[in-house]
Amino acid sequence: MSQARTLAEWLEHPPARDGLLSTEARHEVARLATLLGLPGPRDEAWRYTRLSGLEQEALELGVEAPLPDEHQLRALTPEGVTLDRLVVVNGRPVPSLCQIGPLPDGVGIGSLSAMRQAAREGNSSAAQLLEHLDLLSQSRQRAFSAINSALAEDAAALWVPDGVQLPRPLLVLSLVLPQAGPLLSQPRLLAVLGQHSQATVLEAHGGFGDKAYLCNAVSEFHVQAHARLEHVRVQRDSVAGRRVSGAFFQVMAGAQARTHTYTLGGRTVRNEIRMELVEPGASGEINGLGLLKGETHLDNHTHVAHLAPDCQSHQGFRTILAERSQGIFTGRIQVAKDAQHTDAVQQCASMVLSPEARAVARPQLEILADDVKCTHGSTVGSLDANSLFYLRSRGIPGDLARRILIHAFCSTQLGRVRASEMVNPLDRLITRTLADHA
Amino acid sequence: MTEEKRQIHELAQQDYKYGFVSAIDADTFPAGLSEEIVAAISHRKDEPAYMLDWRIKAFRAWRDMRLPNWAYLTIPPIDFQAISYYSAPRKKEGPASLDDVDPDLLETFEKLGIPLGERARLAGVAVDAVFDSESVKTTYKEELAAKGVIFCSMSEALREHPDLVRRHLGSVVPVRDNFYAALNSAVFSDGSFVYIPRGVRCPMELSTYFRINAAGTGQFERTLIVADEGSHVSYLEGCTAPQRDENQLHAAVVELVAGAGAHIKYSTVQNWYPGDKNGKGGIYNFVTKRGLCHERARISWTQVETGSAITWKYPSCVLKGDESVGEFYSVALTNNHQQADTGTKMIHLGRNTRSTIISKGISAGLSQNSYRGLVQVNAGAEGARNFSQCDSLLIGDRCGAHTWPVMDVRNTTSVVEHEATTSRISDDQVFYCRQRGIREEDAVGMIVNGFCREVLAELPMEFAVEAQKLLGVSLEGSVG
């Protein structure tokens, strides 16, 4: 039975059953979420993004969701790549739709509830995985993490043991299927990569239908010493869809985490990405591409914390803004007192294609160590008239010339994806989206 | 200990050069702020009636405002009721000429190296000196009057040119603009007023020297510069304060109005007492500076910030007229326990407006230095262009350098670029200099001066020399 309640009511009376957390724990986190309150215009970090009316809105949790049809699944699946697939509908993994091939010993892919069951049956790696839950999401400070922890029913989970390389990329298909009224979907992902392990994770998020929804996603990644993580996230929300997503990475000694976020639609999308480089030699990369049109409002908010010496980070964001879209970028690089020999780069470029669009860039450097190299650069501009002229003078029609230049602008981001099997499908996706834009 | 080390050590012990107190008889109001105090200031200054209304309006706005807390600063609580809002050097029967000015006061200026009177004539700089809250002497007035230039204290301007002041005062920084601007509007006691008539190129540099002398007081001066169509003026501002264990508040407002085609160049060398090595004492410098550019006008802000315990200051340009130009060149140096959160705002409203921001932050000791800036390009600002560069230099491993720029672009025809770097003085550079027989302290000074050269080049000659020396003095003891 679906029920619609406001967020405050849900937090006051969270479902009285075990979900992501135990009944008791989810009540406690719910109380905390109420105390934290939703961020408003007076919060500097939320200055440019409004989730107006969210407090008053009656939302359903969409627990009894219908199964997605084949067309919806295909729409989000990259073509021509062999993948293991986990399907999550309205925040709940659906085991019947998962397709997992043969895996090396010890690798765990599935729902968190299944892991919990395995742990009860004495599976030690499942028990270890559970210990990592909710350590990174900052649910004590970040209201949306607390809401997710309190109201999420289950999570997708990945465990890669020490020294194991995941044979195929893992695709986590996360669909939002609103039914009668506005829906609150709370997908959650927990991934732990053991020492010297390697994995590619593709999160494909999509919303369907014309009903309003709020998707409050939280993903946590523990990348242990010398492990390598390649994380690609594609977000295609419907025009009525709002999304607040938090991705949290903890990178240990000599490990490498790379994340790429492609935002291709939605009404209001807020992506928060936090990467902690905790031990010496860790390196992190955060890339993002936004292709925006209509009324889409995209707010990318990154925070890279250099907490140990000899760490490297790179951030690269590119946004194309058409029609009345808005693109906000806030990127913070924090270098702690003893994080000497830090090498941090941040770049943000926006291409504004319409006089009604708006681009805001807020790079932030906070440096407390002296032997560091930190740079950031940001540009806001339009299509270069000289380049357009060059192409036109070689007989390329204006429309095509524009598309070529815009595609070239986006391609830089593709070049940063190391998982080579993902590049072509992503390129096709971008080309298709740009063709829709035109 | 080598000779150099010893010298460096000695230099490090060197104290704030301007930290003397002048024993001048002052007329100071009791501490506290109320409508009565605001009215008393207005009354004492013999102001026109509209000023009292204006001040009261500002005071009421201020009372309802909250202290801004968004800056990267740790500001100890300030008791606004413990400050005296008015302190004037007591007049011994109104000085008619330089000879009648309190000799102690003249001696003070002597120590500060300010050319007054005859010396000003030689130096070719017109000076208005503001001592605590009162303007004490404006030099070179007659010579300027011949060109139609008005350069006087704000109180005099309110008496002599009330309509001119009324038209422009608060037009760029409204009374409710921010907490400290509202406070200043309510209690400001003096400052400088400049008016340059249409088409006049001011024949000399104008200069104001500010000094806080009395204990337990704050300084709240207000500067208004109006440059009429096609005129040109270069204005210099310098400041010092005595060395005290208490923190003193300085909340000034500077408003610039540049008419069509006018050019205002505003340079500041800020050297308020920064507090001692342990962070005790020092001036809280909370300043609002903003300029309004009409068509083709140009405003350049150049600042060298070395003093103050805490600096909170964002000289800004509102580029309202088409083809107007805004510039901001800044060197902010912090040492010991100093904190600075400074930068600029460039608001592009007119078509083909241009702005340049060059900011150099140097942090040493335990200090925190932040650049905070906004470049906003509105929908109507077609063809707007901005270039920003902010570089930070770290000296030592216990200081912090932070950058918080914001770019907000709302049209397709403008180009906005921002670059930032953070670096430190490399051992290689110092070694190279040492190898050529240059002392370590001098080498660091040289490297810092090189780092700042784009900004120092914008300063008028006399100031550039002073600024270079100041950078050297402020860095003493931070290396070696």
Three-state SS sequence of chain B: CCHHHHHHHHHHHCCCCCCCCCCCCEEECCECCCHHHHHHHHHHCCCCHHHHHHHHHHHHHHHCCCCCCCCCCCCCCCCCCCCECCEEECCCCCCCCHHHCCHHHHHHHHHHCCCCHHHHHHHCEEEEEEECCEEEEECCHHHHHHCCCEEEEHHHHHHHCHHHHHHHCCCCCCCCCCHHHHHHHHHCCECEEEEECCCCECCCEEEEEEECCCCCECECEEEEEEECCCCEEEEEEEEECCCCCCEEEECCEEEEEECCCCEEEEEEEECCCCCCCCCCCEEEEEEEEEEEECCCCEEEEEEEECCCCEEEECCEEEECCCCCEEEEEEEEEECCCCEEEEEEEEEECCCCCEEEEEEEEEEECCCEEEEEEEEEECCCCCCCEEEEEEEEEEECCCCEEEEEEEEEECCCCCEEEEEEEEEECCHHHHHHHHHCCCCHHHHHHHHHHHHCHHHHCCCCHHHHHHHHHHHHHHHCCCCC
Q: Is the pLDDT of residue B103 over 80?
A: no
**Hey, what amino acid is at B115?**
P
Residues in B touching A382 (Cβ below 8 Å): 412-413, 415
Q: Where are the beta strands (DSSP E) in A61-182?
A: 84-89, 92-93, 108-111, 156-160, 170-176
Q: Are B222 and B253 in contact (CB under 8 A)?
A: yes
Q: Do A363 and B397 touch (CB under 8 A)?
A: no
Do β-strands B150-153 and B310-313 pair in parallel, antiparallel, or remain unpaired? Answer: unpaired
Query: Which run of H or E residues covers position A291?
Result: strand A283-292
Q: Are A398 and A420 in contact (CB under 8 A)?
A: no
Beta strand B192-196 with B222-227 is: parallel
Q: Which residues of A touch B395 (CB under 8 A)?
A: 370
CA distance A183 to A186: 10
User: What is the pLDDT tens value at each position of chain A, 438 positions in all?
Assistant: 468 889 999 999 888 888 899 999 999 999 999 999 998 877 888 989 988 788 888 898 877 778 888 888 998 898 888 999 999 999 999 999 999 999 999 999 999 999 999 999 999 999 999 999 999 999 889 999 999 999 999 999 999 999 999 999 999 999 998 877 789 999 999 999 999 999 999 999 999 888 889 999 999 999 999 999 999 999 999 998 999 999 999 999 999 999 999 999 999 999 999 999 999 999 999 999 999 999 999 999 999 999 999 999 999 999 999 999 999 999 999 999 889 999 999 999 999 998 889 999 998 889 888 888 888 888 888 888 899 999 999 999 999 999 999 999 999 999 999 988 899 999 999 998 888 876
Give the residue from chain A lying closest to B397, CA to CA: A370
Q: Which chain B residues are Cβ-neighbours of A365 within 8 angstroms?
A: 392, 401-404, 420, 422
CB contact under 8 A, A374 and B421: yes
Residue A40: Cβ within 10 Å count: 12
Examine residue A112 and state whether it is found in any structural domain, yes or no.
Answer: yes
CB within 8 Å: A357 and B412:
yes
Distance separating alpha carbons of residues A196 and A165, to the nearest angstrom: 8
Residue-range domain boundaries for chain B: 17-425
The answer on A129 and A266 residing in a single domain is yes
Q: Which residues of B fall below an 8 Å CB-CB distance to A? A: 70, 72, 379, 392, 394-424
User: Would you say residue A44 lies in a domain?
Assistant: yes
For the cut 70, the answer to whether the pLDDT of residue B95 exceeds it is: no
Of A340, A377, A380, the CB nearest to B419: A377
Residues of A within an 8 Å Cβ radius of B = 44, 337, 340, 350, 352-382
Q: Which of B412, B414, B422 sits opposite A367 (nearest CB)?
A: B422
Tell me which H or E stretch contains A391.
helix A385-393
Tell me phi and psi for residue B187, to 5 degrees: -120, 5
Would you place residue B179 in the very low, low, confident or very high pLDDT band (cuts 50, 70, 90)? very high
Whether B105 shows a pLDDT value over 90: the answer reads no
CB A359 to CB B379 under 8 A?
no
Neighbours of B145 (CB within 10 A): 12
Q: CB–CB of B407 and A380 under 8 A?
A: yes
Of the partner residues B392, B404, B419, the one whose CB lies closest to the CB of residue A364: B404
A346 located within any domain: no
State which residue of chain B sits closest to A375, comparing Cα positions.
B421
Residues of B in contact with A361 (CB under 8 A): 405-407, 418
d(CA B79, CA B77) in angstroms, rounded, equals 7
What is the structure's pLDDT at A159? 96
- pLDDT over 50 (residue B142): yes
Q: B284-304: b or e for each residue (b if 16 or more CB lie within 10 Å)?
A: bbbbbbbbbbbbbbbbbbbbb
CB-based burial label for A425 (10 Å; 0-12, 13-18, 19+):
middle
The answer on A269 and A398 residing in a single domain is no
pLDDT for A258: 97
Report d(CA B146, CA A321) in Å as an integer. Answer: 56
Domain count for chain A: 2
Q: How many helices (H) and strands (E) does chain A have?
A: 9, 22
pLDDT one-digit tens code per residue, B55-90: 999 999 999 998 888 888 888 888 888 888 877 665
Q: Which pLDDT tens digit goes with each residue over B302-358?
A: 998 888 899 999 999 999 999 999 999 999 989 889 999 999 999 999 999 999 999
Closest alpha carbon to B122 in B135, B145, B139 = B139
Contact B6, B477 (CB under 8 A): no
pLDDT-derived band of residue B30, with 50, 70 and 90 as boundaries? confident
In this complex, the residue of B399, B402, B406 whose CB is nearest that of residue A366 is B402
- The closest CB to that of B409, out of A353, A377, A380, belongs to A380
Give the Cα separation of A58 and B388 in Å (integer): 46
Residue A321 C-alpha, separation from nearest chain B C-alpha, in angstroms = 10
- Closest approach of chain B CAs to the CA of A329, in angstroms? 9
Among candidates B400, B404, B414 on the partner chain, residue whose Cβ is nearest the Cβ of A368? B400
Parallel/antiparallel/unpaired status of strands A326-335 and A358-367: parallel
pLDDT > 70? residue B267: yes
Strand partners, B373: B344, B405
- Tokens coding A379: 């540009």
Which chain A residue's Cα is nearest to B379?
A355
* A290 lies in some domain: no
Interface test with A, best of B335, B363, B376, B410 (most A CBs within 10 A): B410
pLDDT of the residue at B418:
86
| CA gap B364, B362 in Å, rounded | 7
Check A363 against B401: CB less than 8 A apart: no
Question: Who among B402, B403, B406 is closest to A360 (CB)?
Answer: B406
Domain assignment of residue A255, yes or no: yes
Distance CA B273, CA B308 (A): 5
Query: Does A219 fall in a domain?
Result: yes
**Residue with token string 């839950």:** A133
Segments in A164-281 forming alpha helices (H): none
**Chain B: residue whose CA lies nearest to A324:** B410
Q: Are A355 and B423 inside 8 Å of each other by CB?
A: no
CA–CA min distance A429, chain B (Å): 26
pTM: 0.81
Q: Which residue out of B362, B386, B408 would a mutagenesis test of the A interface target, given it has the greatest number of A Cβ atoms within 10 Å?
A: B408
Of the partner residues A361, A365, A375, the one whose CB lies closest to the CB of residue B407 = A361
In this complex, the residue of A44, A360, A372 whose CB is nearest that of residue B422 is A372
Q: What is the largest CA-CA distance in chain B?
A: 68
CB-based contacts of A42-45 (< 8 A; 24+ apart in sequence): A44/B70, A45/A301, A45/A330
Which residues of chain B have a CB within 8 Å of the CB of A366? 72, 400, 402
Cβ separation A337–B417 shorter than 8 A: no
Among A354, A365, A373, the strongest candidate for a mutation testing the B interface, having the largest count of B CBs within 10 A, is: A365
Quote the tokens at residue A188: 């959650």
- Write out the residue range of the structural domain in which residue A426 sits: 386-438
Would the CB atoms of A382 and B412 count as touching at under 8 Å? yes
Asked if residue A343 is part of any domain, the answer here is no
**Three-state DSSP class for residue A27:** helix
Res A221: pLDDT: 97
B464 within 8 A of B238, measured Cβ to Cβ: no
- Confidence at B118, pLDDT banded by 50, 70, 90: very low
3-state helix, strand, coil in chain A (%, to 5): 25, 40, 40
Question: Do A116 and A243 sit in the same domain of this protein?
Answer: yes
H/E run at residue A335: strand A326-335
In a domain, A333, yes or no: no
What residue type is assigned to position B18 of the chain? Y
Among residues A279, A297, A319, the one where a domain terminates is A279
